[in-house]
Amino acid sequence: MGGRLFGTDGVRGLANADLTPVLALRLATAAAQVLGGRRASAAASTPSRRPFGARPPEVVRRASPGRPLAVVGRDPRASGEMLEAAVAAGLASAGVDVILLGVLPTPAVAYLTGDLGADLGVVISASHNAMPDNGIKIFAAGGLKLDDSVEDDIARRMDDPGPLPTGEGVGRISRAEDADRLYLDHLLVATPNPLNGLRVVVDCAHGAASALAPEVYRRAGAEVVVIGGSPDGLNINAGVGSTYLTGLREAVVSEGADLGIAHDGDADRCLAVAADGSDVDGDVILALLAISLQDRGRLVDDTVVATVMANLGFHQAMAKAGIKVRTTAVGDRYVLEDMRAGGYSLGGEQSGHLILADHATTGDGLLSALHLMAAVAAAGQPLADLAKVVTRFPQVLINVRVADKGTVAAAPTVLDAVERAEQELGDSGRVLLRPSGTESLVRVMVEAGTAEQAHRIAERVAEVVAAV
């Protein structure tokens, strides 16, 4: 795995080739050594998020009170079993007690890291990537994503590990008892109003939310039809989930549902489909949640945080609603950093990573879906009508697979192609070219006044990228 070890969302690669058990063990050991002593300061600034009436964290028993604790969750892909064992071994070898949470969404692990008072949390998942890939995401105490500097400390420690304990200093490994119930209770308490009267189709991507998402939506009051809810370790994201909406569109229409919800493999994303089969992307969901929070007086400083990928139509809708938009680099970690710095309550990405800071420390697809459905239920209007608040500019995104994404994105011929495209668009559109943070891709995005112009310019720039 060349270059910087950590990407925009943890460490990812082809399982057992790039991301091997040996690498996972070394990474976990280093993370334990770097993060094991940080709990006191992080916990002091992170209030408990345990909902009223939820069972106390004694449902998970610490093997050795006073010793550092880590929680580990994974999505259902087959390689997760192998990597879970390696991660647990690495953590325990560094003197950390380990609680294995089993198959749970990434945001559930983040929540439980804080709720159970763990020093760190680890998620083994490659999110929306295909089954052969896998990844490792790490949360600090309180369920917070790591700063770049902490990630770099961990990477350096992998090459220069400190002394490891022996005897009774070695950590113990145990499995959680009903920890998923704590997360489910938290989601229900965070739902603004019941979903009674809604019929929803949920596509779980054969992923980590296959059991929890249908249950929590039903308990919130919705009638639920499930697709992509039968994980077997090999079918995660295979033609289902937030990157493949065709099946969800068809199911929403055939079932006569009010809307559809699509998650990815680790359920930190949420996209939607309206009753007429039209797509509702993260920009539109973010706009609807911003307006909902503003109406309830819960949108801090009337501000929402988005990335450079947000559609121009989103910016226009927010301006019309009197909501300010702060813009960050692509990646929910950068959205989170800006939200935490300014104390903002809402942020997100077009891809469906949405952060509701009053209830979560990271993107949570289930929480986002509950708030979206609550807004639809409260308004008593079809989602398609509510979505009209955003008039999207035609946007085309082309992913170009390359050998060295950094070199290609900075090539003079590529920069010249982008400049010429921007001159042609003037003020009626824009070009965004960036290397992917998780794959060997250069992403070419073009917005323009017409779909034809957006396609033509995007294809022209993509050809130049591919030729480098």
Percent composition of the chain: helix, strand, coil (DSSP 3-state, to 5): 40, 20, 40
pLDDT of residue 162: 84
- Give the chain's radius of gyration (CA, Å): 22
Is the per-residue pLDDT at 43 higher than 70? no
Alpha helical stretches, state H, 206-356 = 212-219, 246-254, 282-295, 312-320, 332-342
The arithmetic mean of pLDDT across residues 430-443, rounded, is: 87
Per-residue pLDDT tens over the stretch 230-265: 999 999 999 999 999 999 999 999 999 999 999 999
Tell me which H or E stretch contains 373. helix 365-379
The rounded percent of the chain whose pLDDT value lies above 90 is: 84
pLDDT of residue 394: 93
* Of 191 and 41, the one with more pLDDT: 191
The arithmetic mean of pLDDT across residues 171-175, rounded, is: 96
The arithmetic mean of pLDDT across residues 109-130, rounded, is: 96
Give 192's pLDDT tier (boundaries 50, 70, 90): very high
CATH class of 395-467: alpha beta
Is the per-residue pLDDT at 7 higher than 90? no
Tell me which H or E stretch contains 274. strand 271-274
Helices 412-425 and 451-467, axial angle in degrees (round to 10) = 170
Give 61's pLDDT tier (boundaries 50, 70, 90): low
Candidates 85, 86, 79; CA nearest to 26 is 86
Q: Mind giving me the DSSP string for 279-323?
A: EE-HHHHHHHHHHHHHHTT-SGGGEEEEETTS-HHHHHHHHHTT-
pLDDT of residue 55: 45
CATH 3.40.120.10 intervals, the chain: 11-180, 191-389
The arithmetic mean of pLDDT across residues 63-88, rounded, is: 93
Are the C-beta atoms of residues 300 and 345 closer than 8 Å to each other? yes
Is the per-residue pLDDT at 2 higher than 60? no
What would be the CATH architecture of the domain defined by 191-389?
3-Layer(aba) Sandwich (3.40)
CATH of domain 11-180: 3.40.120.10
- How does strand 120-124 pair with strand 133-140? antiparallel
| Side-chain half-sphere exposure of 322, counting CA atoms within 13 A | 8
Tell me which H or E stretch contains 233. none
Per-residue pLDDT tens over the stretch 328-368: 988 888 899 999 999 999 999 999 999 999 999 999 999 99
What's the token pair of residue 21? Answer: 């058990």
Give 54's pLDDT tier (boundaries 50, 70, 90): very low
CATH 3.30.310.50 intervals, the chain: 395-467
pLDDT of residue 437: 72
Tokens 């943890």 label which residue? 10
Is the per-residue pLDDT at 42 higher than 90? no
pLDDT of residue 38: 57
Per-residue pLDDT tens over the stretch 380-427: 999 999 999 999 999 999 999 999 998 999 999 999 999 999 999 987
Q: Which residues are designated catalytic? A: 127
> Which residue type does 235 have?
N
